[in-house]
Amino acid sequence: MLNLVNIYKNEFSKTKKSLGQHFLINQHYIEKILDATSVSKDSRILEIGPGCGALTVKILERGADLTAIEIDAVLVDFLKRYLYFYPNFKIIHSDFTKIDKSLLDGKYNLVGNLPYYVSVPILEKCTELIENINTMTFMFQKEVADRIISTPSKKSYSSLSVFCQYFFDIKKILNISGGNFWPTTKVESTVLHFIPKKRQFDVDEKDFLNLVKLSFSAKRKMLKNNLNSIIDTNLIDEFFGRNNVRAEELSVEDFINFYNFLKNAQ
C-alpha cells in the first residue's frame, strides 16, 4: 500500500503553516469520510486540497474518477510523481476559489479538508458551482462547523448558518481530534455532509443574502437598527407583530418569508 504521508515526510519533513496544512493520517477516519462521500468505481470525485494524498490514494483505490485541485505547486508536483500510473486521476494546480466553471463537466461529489482561513470562501464558491455538485463532504475546524449547523438562539448562530442552510441540507458526520493529523494540532475538527437544496430564489438571491448579512451586522442589535438603511422599519412590526426582533431568533424559513413580505410590500 502506497503511504504518501511517510514519503512526503521523508522528502520535505514539514508542511506550510501559511496554507494551514494539517494532513489527516488516521485510516479509520479516512474510510469514514470516503463512505460519507459515496466513493465507488461509479462516482466522480472532486477533491479540494488533496495535500500529500492520504485521502487521494484511497479514493483512487476504490476506482472513482478523481479530479483534485491543489494550490501548492510543491504538492501538485509530488502527487503527479507518485500517482501518475492511475488513469482515473487528474490534478489541477489552482486556487479552488478562482476556478472557472468551465473546468467542471457534469456533476461531482466534493470532498476536502478545508483550512480555517479559506473555509468560508470555498463554501461561497461551491454555491456558485452548485449545479455541478451532487454532494459535499468537508472537514472544518469544529468552531466553523458549529456555526454552519447552528440553530436560532444559539450563541454560534450567524449569517454563515443561514447562508449554508439556505443552499444545503447539512448533516454532521463525526468529530476528529487533533492527534489524528500530521503535524498534530490542538484544534478539533468536524466532518459535515452537504446536499444541495432546491433554490428558493433566482434573480432575487443576492438581495436575499444581503438582507441576511445586514441583519446580523451587529448581532445583538435589533433588526430595526441593522436594517434601517434599506427598509421601512415599520414593516418589521407589521410582519412579526413586534419590533424588537433580532436576527439570531430567526430561522432560514423566517428569513425567506420576511424577504418575500418585504418584496411584496414595495
pLDDT tens, 72-123? 999 999 999 999 999 999 999 999 999 999 989 999 999 999 988 899 999 9
Lowest mean pLDDT segment, chosen from 23-27, 234-238, 245-249: 23-27
The residue out of 177, 196, 215 marking a domain boundary is 196
- What's the structural domain count of the chain? 2
- Domain interval for residue 248: 205-265
- Regarding whether 215 and 110 lie in a shared domain, the answer is no
- Regarding whether 150 and 34 lie in a shared domain, the answer is yes
5-52 confidence digits (pLDDT tens): 788 878 875 665 655 568 898 999 999 999 999 999 999 999 999 998
- Regarding whether 34 and 11 lie in a shared domain, the answer is yes
Res 259 pLDDT > 90:
yes
- Regarding whether 116 and 19 lie in a shared domain, the answer is yes
- 24 with 47: CB under 8 angstroms? no
Which CATH number does the domain housing residue 172 bear? 3.40.50.150
- Regarding whether 138 and 176 lie in a shared domain, the answer is yes
The residue out of 152, 179, 196 marking a domain boundary is 196
pTM: 0.93
- Regarding whether 74 and 97 lie in a shared domain, the answer is yes
119-141 confidence digits (pLDDT tens): 999 999 999 999 999 999 999 99
- Regarding whether 230 and 168 lie in a shared domain, the answer is no
| CA 266 – CA 230 distance, rounded (Å) | 12
Whether 31 has a binding-site annotation, put simply, is no
- Regarding whether 140 and 9 lie in a shared domain, the answer is yes
> Per the structure block, which three cell numbers stand in for 162?
443561514
- Regarding whether 249 and 160 lie in a shared domain, the answer is no
- Regarding whether 214 and 191 lie in a shared domain, the answer is no
The residue out of 150, 169, 196 marking a domain boundary is 196
Whether 24 has a binding-site annotation, put simply, is yes
> Per the structure block, which three cell numbers stand in for 185?
494540532
Whether 53 has a binding-site annotation, put simply, is no
Whether 10 has a binding-site annotation, put simply, is no
Q: To 5 degrees, how large is the angle CA 141–CA 103–CA 108?
A: 55
- Regarding whether 161 and 234 lie in a shared domain, the answer is no
User: What is the pLDDT, as a whole number, of residue 156?
Assistant: 96
Which CATH number does the domain housing residue 240 bear? 1.10.8.100
User: What is the pLDDT, as a whole number, of residue 265?
Assistant: 87
Average pLDDT over residues 166-193: 94
- Regarding whether 213 and 191 lie in a shared domain, the answer is no
Give the whole-number percent of the chain exceeding pLDDT 90: 81
| CA 70 – CA 173 distance, rounded (Å) | 24
Q: Which residue has the cell 443552499?
A: 167
